[in-house]
Amino acid sequence: MSVDTHKKAAQSQHFEDAPDKELYSLRSGSTTNAPPAGIDAEVADFFAEGSSSTKAVVIDEATNARLRWMVHKRVLSVMVITYFAQTLDKGTINFASIMGIREDTKLEGQQYAWLTTCVYIAILAWEFPTNRLIQRLPIGKYLAFNIMAWGAVLACTAACKNFAGLVVVRTFLGIFECVCQPAFVYLSTMWYTREEQALVIGAFYSMNGFQQCVGGLIAYGIAHLNHLKLKNWQILFTLLGCVTFVWGLFVLWWLPDSPIRAKCFSKEDRILLAERVRKNDTGIQNRTFKMYQAVEAFTDPTVWAVTLISFTNALPTGGLGAFSNIIINAFGFTQLQTYLLAIAQGAIIMIFLFSAAYLSKRYNQKLLLAFIYTLPNIAGTIVFICVPTSSQTKVGLLMAFYCMQGFGAVAVLNLAVMSNDVAGRTKQVIASSLVFISWAVGNAIGPQVFRDNDKPRYIKAFVAHLVVYGVQLATIVFLRVHLMRQNVLKRRAQSLPAAAVTGEVTDENLAHKHAFDDLTDKENPEFRYLY
């Protein structure tokens, strides 16, 4: 099919609501036309200045491997270490919960649960503004500022004397930390291919488990410090806050804002890095907020499905994250044993995460795996409801608790579906905001279902978990069927042979002519959904 034919088909089929908009094919080295309004001028200038050739750039495997390693060193390393710091800093309250902070600050009733809930209320309020700022500002510098800010806030936690002070610092912690996940998903779409994104998201998300290992060791070591002027929990907050602040300074110097602005690489490599992600059809950047894309996001079943999965997966996570050490301690394990068992918990979370990311890349299946990884959570929850706590059952209950750590794998797979299947920068901003707002709502509600008068078994909380897991499974099935159907409709619209009209994305020679034109997944006739 010719380029002109593509344009006519796309204009008639995908621009009924915006008839004055024209498609503009952004090819590296194309200088024949100025980009129309709506296409990022910096991206257009970058490709126009990069080469005099209009031929598609072909990247061999050796060059691709070299470029990928360059990105790993500059971008993935920052994402992994920053996410580790973020999860460790946010989860420090969990270790401090059995280190004396509840007694020293005179927390009563549900006040400890509110220290986790207020973080997610802050995220809920600030999620869309931070997504918009990610779109508008140089992402490397904005991320570095937030890292330094939350490090300073974390260190200030050591000075808190009561519930009110803790609520203030925890709220600011949520505001500054909420940049991480949307920024990293954006960086993944900007620097990595769709096939690589699940592993990349899994790599930084695995720090949820690794921080359990390292946090347990740090807490174990600090718990042995006695007769000091500062309490153990105060030492913990001060140490981690200062280290995080220094890391933010390093990120400010090290992380490039985009392939276009990555002056640490040669001009030729920057062009290759951009061309490497052309087949994503999700572009690199666009700072203009496009209302029609926002409307499309709010009316797209795919966006609402990943949003609902984010909520159902986050609600149990929020409660277990805040109360895991308290629950394990209630089994009859000592304080120090609880810290050490947190290391095993972290290792299991990492196994779930990396196995899900690897299997996703190996078999090109995300939603099917998300369904499978929900099942261990259900099994472990049923055990918690049915088996009473005693010295004879504590090991079995601990194993059931470890089975409930599959939520991380589902979160990674869901984020990969969102990054793969939502195109158009404004639409991505809305989708990302909705997904992480629902994640914040789930995490905010999660600790509140663990009622103080229901301890130590918290039966009502685990019944609530079973209900949301059922909703999650139903949504996963719906989303998979929906995305398969969308691929079928796209191929039919392009008059492909009947034998090729399937839900699978295989052996299609798509030119990806509109990869950097900031089209949504529905607008771009060459876009194919991955599930």
266-305 pLDDT tens trace: 888 888 888 888 777 676 777 888 899 999 999 999 999 9
Q: What is the pLDDT of residue 225?
A: 76
**pLDDT reported for residue 378:** 94
What burial class does residue 244 get, using C-beta atoms within 10 Å of its C-beta: 0-12 exposed, 13-18 middle, 19+ buried?
buried
User: Among candidates 514, 512, 522, 518, which has minimal Cα distance to 482?
Assistant: 522
Give the pair of three-digit tokens for residue 253: 């110097």
In angstroms, the CA 239 to CA 247 distance is 13
- CA dist 428 to 50, 188, 290, 345, 491, Å? 27, 12, 11, 33, 23
Question: How is residue 243 annotated by DSSP?
Answer: H
Regions in the chain scoring below 50 on pLDDT: 1-24, 28-32, 52, 499, 501-503, 505
Contact at 8 Å (CB) between 56 and 27? yes
In sequence order, the 6+-apart residues with CB closer than 8 A to the CB of 485 are 503
**pLDDT value, residue 29:** 43
Q: Return the pLDDT at 198.
A: 87
Contact 272, 409 (CB under 8 A): no
pLDDT digits (tens, 9 = 90+) for 412-446: 999 999 998 998 889 999 999 999 999 888 887 88
pLDDT of residue 443: 81
Residue 228's contacts (CB-CB under 8 Å, 6 or more residues apart) are 235
Q: What is the pLDDT of residue 489?
A: 87
> Exposure string (b/e) for 349-371, b if CB count within 10 Å is 16 or more?
bbbbbbebbebbbeebbbbbbbb
**Per-residue pLDDT at 259:** 87
What is the reported pLDDT for 430? 94
Distance separating alpha carbons of residues 96 and 152, to the nearest angstrom? 18
The DSSP 8-state label assigned to residue 410 in this structure reads H
